[in-house]
Structure 1
């Protein structure tokens, strides 16, 4: 009986080993099929050794790495030659996903990192499991989700927390906190990854990541907005947020300026100036200069569409939908076009010499300020006055219910829109300044041209006590 039991156990063990080897072979075939898809079928023959040599020698890229570089990364670390490691060093210095690590660390990673390929729909990390490695995305997209209790359906559901794209890292939180996996990561498309095992992570990557992590935690503590956040929220924010530096006079990308409008900006140091561009039309009325504020770029696009729709039967409905400001601009545009057609002129837009752009310094964002929450940014730019450091947090995540207690971010957005003057208010101030300059010039000319006894008093003849300027004190 004992011998029969041992035979059954041995038979079962062989089946498990065979099943494991078969799965490993299938994964290897899928990975190699991904490689072979980059090679013409005519080049593949019946000679297996020739086919392998052809694949290894091929220099063409599929993703960020060549097939030869992937072949080197698929070898065991101890089997890589010094020449192969030096070749990988050149590649690792240029990889975006490793850009925030020192050059020396990247060169050491060339001796131990591994290449992995996952087809779409594969689970790479599962929530609750023990961590074994960290991953860098070379190509493809990884969806990150977390199990949360749904009080309505009375069960745990997967909640999407974000997406990892090429140049990003995932899987390091479990090592830094010494806890199981906090999220589930699934390949949304065919993905190429760099894998670093736990021992190599602790030896090479953890010191740099620990320092960056502490700096991000310190940056969060400088804002009172995050005092009520839980440890999980702060940890998630440290994963998603990043810190960017901007040089003096460099434009900071926000909503409406064609940049990273998906981020909210928290100023850590330095000052940012708010520049409003006023696009005005200048026209001479005799000897007097007349100005008219032109619509912003977004309004101009609406006007072009409205002008085309005015030719249809539903133009009355269109006019009722447009705002009064756009309605007035549309009427002027239509009348101007009719005048040009009656005079036989061209149908071009306003002549370039009649359009002026005036930039007005509206205010400043100093240390502790926040902007980019979705406030109005028509023809407005944020420019660094000096060296500025900002913490960028994804706006979609910031406006989620747990991070938006009491609608705090909407209230800050409303405050910014009320505190910063609008284009119309700035244009009125612009006209007032022009009128004041014209009036001052007129008064000065009248005094200069006024006839009478000349005053030969010199500045040195006036007592010094009379020349001292007295500042106005508080009333």
Structure 2
């Protein structure tokens, strides 16, 4: 509810106008005096005076002229200079140029009330020099009143510090009230003479309308990620002004070193780079993980390999400082991401919560040594597969069992006999597990650790996966002379004897 202002007399209004003209006259005289003592090189300098008023006297004089008479070249130079300052970094230069075009330079003496509590947002101010203090009203800010009630004893001094806040050069005040259409929460009064750039609402809102629509879209995207549910409404509202949406085409690389990403659409493949050292052991080439994975220079015996770690889908997020931030991210198809500066993002919310989120993300991704083990396993499997295909394509009769004595074929092979022929273990797929070659080879041939002995005794044969692997008696008809029962290896079951 807006507070009603008291009616003022005509004489008070006239005195206010005269004082404003007098202030502007003093300001103009000071600027003209400084401009006479300034050389042409200093007036055309594009550097920012961080110890002074940020802008030079020529640019100050530009802001005192009418907006219709300002040149585009001068506005472009001033907008380029302001774009390096913190309050304007989130705006493109084209928008800053429009803001500067309809702004003006204004000064306030010490003791003046710059903004009053409950006022409608009509102007925003960027402070070039001076100091403005904010005094929170107990009626408008009940949290401060509650803190003062609780800590009325030894912490009263700290509460008094919380009740006042000071804005100095480089601060932009009043812009949030524009964007959120809120009344002034507190009174601001000038403690030191202030020189500032004034932006009026009737020019700012049409200029920022495209950005406001984008901020509303970002705010809707924030609600889709569980990571932002613990943040307060005001924090999410401020995050929506610094977040940006970007589209990546398929087969693009994403760097997540200093930027936090939130995947809105598409899939991203995480690729881990490993440094692997080649060496010899017992005259055989071997590989091991290099001791320094962050090395930029290394010998000829070290090579880089790239491993596919995982695939991120919609709703995933990365780049919060976890281990995956050092990986390469490859877009599988067209992706849309919401991204923030990691430094700015971590300023919102509790540091303990962010640390817990980073620890959870680190637990989801395998470390370097586990990725290297997967690389070695895949390399061994490829060599085994290549050797297996070579053996199957040698041209021998794959369905032929060579003639061996029936007594030898029917003898009982006990555990002691298996140990004597160095068969200490039986592969899983021989005792009911899944066959590792089932998806790789169309022909159901099985080779295991007992392959050499079995080939010597029985030759190559065709087999079918057994349905049971416990002590099984198999009946086979040999030469139509009746059934013969014998015990043998589990993988010998259910095969046809062919002469």
TM-score, normalization by structure 2? 0.54
1:269 paired with 2:260, answer no
Unaligned runs of 5+ in 1: 1-9, 37-47, 302-348, 456-466, 470-475
The alpha carbon displacement at 1:265 in A equals 2.7
CA contact (8 A) 2:59 2:78 kept: no
Hey, what does 2:428 align to over in structure 1?
none
Q: How many pairs does the alignment contain? A: 356
Structure whose residues are more often helix by fraction = 1
CA contact (8 A) 1:85 1:111 kept: no
**1:112 aligned partner:** 102
- Partner Cα separation in structure 2 for residue 415 and residue 181 of structure 1: 41
Name segments (4+ residues, structure 1) moved above 6 Å: 13-20, 123-129, 136-139, 142-148, 163-166, 183-186
Q: Aligned-pair distance for 1:397?
A: 2.4
- Secondary structure in 1 aligned to 2:366? coil
Q: Is the 8 A contact 1:59 1:68 kept in 2?
A: no
**Counterparts of residues 134-153 of structure 1 (less than 5 Å):** 134=124, 149=144, 150=147, 153=155
Aligned to 1:213: 215
Is contact 1:281–1:355 with CA below 8 Å preserved after alignment? yes
Following superposition, the deviation at residue 55 of structure 1 comes to 4.9
Q: Distance in 1 between matches of 2:330 and 2:47?
A: 39
**In structure 2, what is the equivalent of residue 367 of structure 1?**
314
Q: Pairwise mapping of residues 290-309 of structure 1 onto structure 2 (< 5 A)?
A: 290-297=286-293
1:144 and 1:248 map into 2 onto residues whose CA distance is 51
Name the structure 2 match of 1:253.
255
Residue 435 of structure 1, CA deviation: 1.2
Equivalent in the alignment of 1:390: 338
Q: Is 1:133 equivalent to 2:80 in the alignment?
A: no
- Contact 2:102–2:203 (Cα < 8 Å) also in 1: yes
Structure 1 pair 61/89, CA: closer, same or farther in 2 (3 Å)?
closer
1:87 Cα offset (Å): 2.2
| Alignment pair present for 1:75 and 2:55 | no
Distance (whole Å) between structure 2 residues aligned to residue 55 and residue 133 of structure 1: 33
CA spacing shift, 1:32–1:217, aligned 2, 3 Å? farther
Structure 2 residue corresponding to 1:441, chosen from 357, 374, 386: 386
d(CA) in 1 for partners of 2:21 and 2:80?
37
CA distance in 1, matches of 2:169, 2:266: 30
Return the alpha-carbon distance in structure 1 between the equivalents of residues 398 and 313 of structure 2: 52
Name the larger-Rg structure: 2
Partner SS for 1:208: helix
Question: Could you tell me how far apart the structure 1 residues matched to 2:376 and 2:133 are?
Answer: 53
- Report the CA distance between 1:439 and its aligned residue: 1.9
Greater relative CO (CA pairs within 8 A, separation 6+): 1
**Pairwise CA RMSD:** 5.4
Structure 1 segment 363-442 matched on structure 2, within 5 A? 363-377=310-324, 379-385=326-332, 386-392=334-340, 394-400=344-350, 407=353, 409-442=354-387
Distance 1:370 1:225 in 2: 9
- The answer to whether the Cα contact below 8 Å between 2:99 and 2:204 also exists between their aligned partners in 1 is no
Aligned residue for 1:397, secondary structure, equals coil
Structure 1 distance, partners of 2:255, 2:133, is 26
Deviation at 1:92, TM superposition (A): 7.1
CA distance in 1, matches of 2:16, 2:197: 32
The Cα of 1:452 is off from its aligned counterpart by: 3.9
Q: Is the 8 A contact 2:324 2:362 kept in 1?
A: no
User: C-alpha separation between the residues in 2 aligned to 1:430 and 1:291?
Assistant: 10
How has the CA–CA distance of structure 1 residues 383 and 441 changed in structure 2, closer, same or farther, with 3 Å as cutoff? closer
Q: Deviations over 1:78-128 (max 9, x none)?
A: 5x53xx43324554786744885695x66654542336899xxxx998987
> In 1, distance between residues paired with 2:249 and 2:169?
27
Q: In 1, Cα distance between the equivalents of 2:16 and 2:75?
A: 42
Question: Deviations along 1:148-203, whole A, 9 cap, x unmatched?
Answer: 74565352544999x9999x9764320122223469999xxxx998642222113x
Residues 278, 286 of structure 2: 8 Å contact kept: yes
Measured in 1, the distance between the counterparts of 2:320 and 2:307 equals 22
Structure 1 residues 429-438 or 242-251, which shifts more?
242-251
Does structure 2 retain, via aligned residues, the 8 Å contact 1:145–1:184?
yes
Gaps of 5+ in 2: 1-10, 400-441, 445-499
TM superposition shift of 1:290: 0.9
Alignment of 1:231-250 (within 5 A): 231-250=233-252
TM-score, L = length of structure 1: 0.57
SS of equivalent residue, structure 2 residue 384: helix
Q: Deviation of residue 418 (structure 1)?
A: 2.1
Distance 1:431 1:231 in 2: 49
